[in-house]
Structure 1
Amino acid sequence: MTDKETYQRFIDWFRRTWWDLPESVHLHPMIETYLTPEEVDLLTNIPHSSQGIEEIARTKGMAPETLEPRLRALANRGMIYESSREGSVRYRLNDSFFAMLRAALWPGRTDEATKNSAPHINRYFLDGWMDQYAEVHLKGLRALPIDRTIEDKREIMPHEDVVHVVDDKKYFCVTTCPCRHRHNLDPDMPDCPHPTEVCLHFDELAHYIVNNGLGREITREETRDILKKAADSGLVHGVSNWKDGVDTICNCCSCCCMWFESFHKLGHSASMDASNYRIQVRPETCKACALCVKRCPVDALQLRVSPQARNKFGKAAVLDPDRCIGCGVCSHKCPSQSLRLVPKDQAELTEPPRDPREYMKHYLADRKAAAAKNQNTAD
């Protein structure tokens, strides 16, 4: 079998998950620059659901003691998920979304494989790969309001309270932001000015990350410090879009984040899902400094002439409520405290799925509906 056939065989196996690998001139270069022919040959037919080493060894026709160290080496590169339940270690092949857009980039490595694959990931991302989310109503992340930007916290739901989310966790780690890292490694893209070691993960996922050298363990207090640093830098807290078993808080910039990039560059109708809060502007105290306009990740604020403005410009910030995601990035640094997050009206409130399994049901239903719609259009 030629190397080309070996790679194609792996790609055919790699795409048999919820996340497809659509054809593109950038697909093969992305895989071939990150993985060797020997690595993809080993990964082909590794199960997509977790199995013990003995069972996988039978599938691969290898001795367990030969196979296991090779699987662990690929877990260290984000391709294999390794978990332990009741003393039994189990392995599975990660889907391409988790492996290539997240785990491979979490360590922040600058080795040749990572550097060479990053530009291809960026181009493939824009050439149809991320459009799988174009007609999905629930995105992978939901905006989590910055703690001190909410006007009245008496009725805040636990899944929208960043303090509660962190306090509910037992084990913490931090990784490099994968979106920022792939952009910074690409010579054709500008460097991002924001801090990079800001992606937070919890409990089982955090153990996997730390055990495989993809990130480092931190304390609860360090987690809070990173959240504060991220908020000060103008980053959006993006939390796993379900209530139970939240495993990630990303801290996202509008220039690199996959969700904001999809919104700004690919024309998707939404970035990450909005919180149940919305910015309210006090035009009479607004200084028309435009800091909020610059900080907003979705261009939801503009300066306009306002009869209520008392500054020398006669202008105040004006909100486009349909674009606001309720993150609080604008109000966090407002020098005149003219912006605050307030709850949306009852009819506008939304609730995320219960857990990852329920989230995936919503995702697959939306993808099925989109496919049927596109088929009807084609007919």
Structure 2
Amino acid sequence: MHHYHRLQELLNTHPVGAPKSEEFIEILKILFRPDEIELALLLDFKLKKANEIAKQAGISQYEVMQRFEAMADRGVILAKRVEGEPAYALLPNYPGLFEYPIMRGGDSDTQARLAELWQAYYMKHMAAELSLANPPWLRVLPAEEALTEDFEILPFEIASQMMAKTKKIALANCPCRLTEKKCSKPIDVCLSFDGAADFLAERGIAREISLDEAREVLKRAEEAGLVHTGSNNRNNLLFICNCCPCCCHMLRLVTEHNYPNGLAKSSYLARIDAPECIGCGICAEERCPVKAIEMIEDIAVLNNDRCIGCGLCVSKCPTNAISLVKRDDYEFPPETVRELSDRVARNKETKRGK
């Protein structure tokens, strides 16, 4: 079997998945050079020290580090230090192989080809694969301007409070809007935290920013009508994306691919006070990313089943006719990313075994 096909099979063992396709093999050929692929096949998704890899490969640790550091600089593998020693691991498709090389940028022709291949791969295979995740990989974080003290606010749903718990924050460009180019929404709005931020900032894929700067990113995103989404766990967010419905892969599971549970909704639901509605249509036409609001006889009407609880409609209603209320059927997210991954993997196996 060709080395690139073996790498695809290895990447497909991750709970995120990496379905086989011609497009994905072409992506791997762009990301991994022919002289790197055999070494990459010695990795898995757990960090492995360079000296262990060197013994396995039968080459010097220096040569291992040279090859893997070059790959890490391009954002195609993860590099960290374990017990003071360099260590490396494979990256899943999301977040990882799709985002990091696009965020980093580079030769325009190569970037354009990657964008073309990822678009085709997402449409043909990856969207369906991502939709299998139960619980979903991402969850909606409500716009903070829309939250009030009328009820208990879950601390893990307040993006700025979650960011305040982190030690490092990095900012990068949105790979979805860079590849799709379907709208003019802000691009520099992708936030990563702690270990991910360390790696991305060290490799020049993102830049380190302060908490105050990160809060401004959230405000700018809300103003532009972007949905805050983050990893679907309660502790230690890996990242916060700010998503548009036309470009962003995860939000498009709902808006384009008809997977209503492809994204975990927030614990909130919009509520419209009809007597206060003046029929301006801002909520339906400009602010709701999932078309959960429609104008009926000049009054905004909400489809509860479609509402994701992002709060973007609330923040721009000129008469305060819209508010957020608590959902009755909210499901709490897993505590950690590990628990999330384990549950997704178990549920995928159960679903495929039927």
Same fold (TM over 0.5): yes
Query: Does structure 2 conserve the Cα–Cα contact (< 8 Å) formed by 1:132 and 1:367?
Result: no
Change (3 A) 1:13 1:349: closer
Residues 17, 291 of structure 1: CA spacing in aligned structure 2 closer, same or farther, 3 A cutoff?
A: same
Aligned residue for 2:338?
Answer: 357
Cα deviations across residues 168-197 of structure 1 (Å, max 9, x unaligned)? 12211111112111213xxxxxx3210111
Q: Distance in 1 between matches of 2:306 and 2:299?
A: 18
Q: Is the 8 A contact 2:50 2:85 kept in 1?
A: no
Residue in structure 2 matched with residue 167 of structure 1 by the alignment: 164
| Preserved CA contact (<8 Å) 1:122 1:182 | yes
SS in 1 for 2:348: helix
Q: Is the 8 A contact 1:302 1:318 kept in 2?
A: yes
User: Is 2:235 the counterpart of 1:244?
Assistant: yes
Within the alignment, does 1:117 sit opposite 2:114 as a pair? yes
- 1:27 counterpart SS class: helix
- Are 1:331 and 2:328 an aligned pair? no
- Aligned counterpart for 2:248 among listed residues 252, 257, 260: 257
1:83 matches 2:80: yes
DSSP-derived class of the 2:204 partner: coil
DSSP 3-state at the match of 2:166: coil
Amino acid at match of 2:277: C
Corresponding letter in the other structure for 2:331: T
| Residues in 1 aligned to 2:106 and 2:302: alpha-carbon distance in whole angstroms | 40
Counterpart of 2:275 in 1: which secondary structure? coil
**Aligned residues with identical type, % of pairs:** 28
2:309 aligned with 1:318: no
Aligned counterparts, 1:24-39, within 5 A: 24-39=21-36
Deviation at 1:86, TM superposition (A): 3.9
RMSD: 1.9
Equivalent in the alignment of 1:368:
349
**Does the alignment pair 1:223 with 2:219?**
no
Instruction: Answer whether contact 2:253 2:263 (CA < 8 A) is retained.
Output: no
- For the pair 1:132 / 2:129, whether they are aligned, the reply is yes
Partner of 1:309: none
Match of 2:69 in 1: 72
Q: Deviations over 1:100-156 (max 9, x none)?
A: 222222224454332211111110111122312333332111111111202336510
Q: Determine the structure 1 residue equivalent to 2:188.
A: 197
Q: Is the 8 A contact 1:33 1:116 kept in 2?
A: no
1:303 is matched with: 295
2:245–2:252: 8 Å Cα contact kept in structure 1? yes
Residue 353 of structure 1 aligns with an amino acid whose one-letter code is P
Measured in 2, the distance between the counterparts of 1:140 and 1:10 equals 23
Bigger CA drift: 29-38 or 117-126? 29-38
Aligned twin of 2:38:
41
Unaligned runs of 5+ in 2: none
2:343 maps to 1:343: no
Q: 1:192 to 1:126 in 2, by over 3 A?
A: same
Which amino acid is 2:183 matched to? C
Residue 176 of structure 1 aligns with which residue? 173
Larger displacement relative to structure 2 (159-168 or 251-260):
159-168
The letter for the 2-side match of 1:207 is D
- The amino acid across from 2:178 in the alignment is H
- Whether 2:139 is the aligned partner of 1:145: answer no
Give the partner amino acid of 1:333: K
What is the correspondence of 1:262-273 to structure 2 with a 5 Å cutoff?
A: 262-273=253-264
Question: Aligned partners of 1:118, 1:37: CA distance in 2, in Å?
Answer: 21
Distance 1:12 1:275, change over 3 A: closer
Larger Rg: 1
For residues 50-108 of structure 1, what are the alpha-carbon distances to aligned partners after superposition, in whole Å with 9 as ceiling and x for unaligned? 11110011122221111212211111222211122442322112123333222222224
- Which runs of at least 4 in structure 1 moved beyond 4 Å after TM superposition? none
TM-score (norm 1): 0.88
The answer (yes or no) to whether the contact 1:151–1:342 under 8 Å persists in 2 is no
Once the two structures are overlaid, the 10-residue window that deviates more, 233-242 or 94-103, is: 94-103
Q: Write out per-residue CA displacement over residues 291-327 of structure 1, whole angstroms, 9 at most, x where no aligned residue.
A: 111221111101112xxxxxxxxx2111111111111
Give 5+ residue unaligned stretches, structure 1.
185-190, 306-314, 374-379
TM-score when normalising by structure 2: 0.93
After the TM superposition, which residues 47-66 of structure 1 pair with which residues of structure 2 at under 5 Å, given as runs?
A: 47-66=44-63
User: 3-state SS of the aligned residue for 2:199?
Assistant: helix
Q: Deviations over 1:226-256 (max 9, x none)?
A: 0000000000000111011212111000011
Tell me the secondary structure at the aligned position of residue 215 of structure 2: helix
Contact 2:32 2:76 in 1 (8 A): no
Deviates more, 1:239-248 or 1:131-140: 131-140
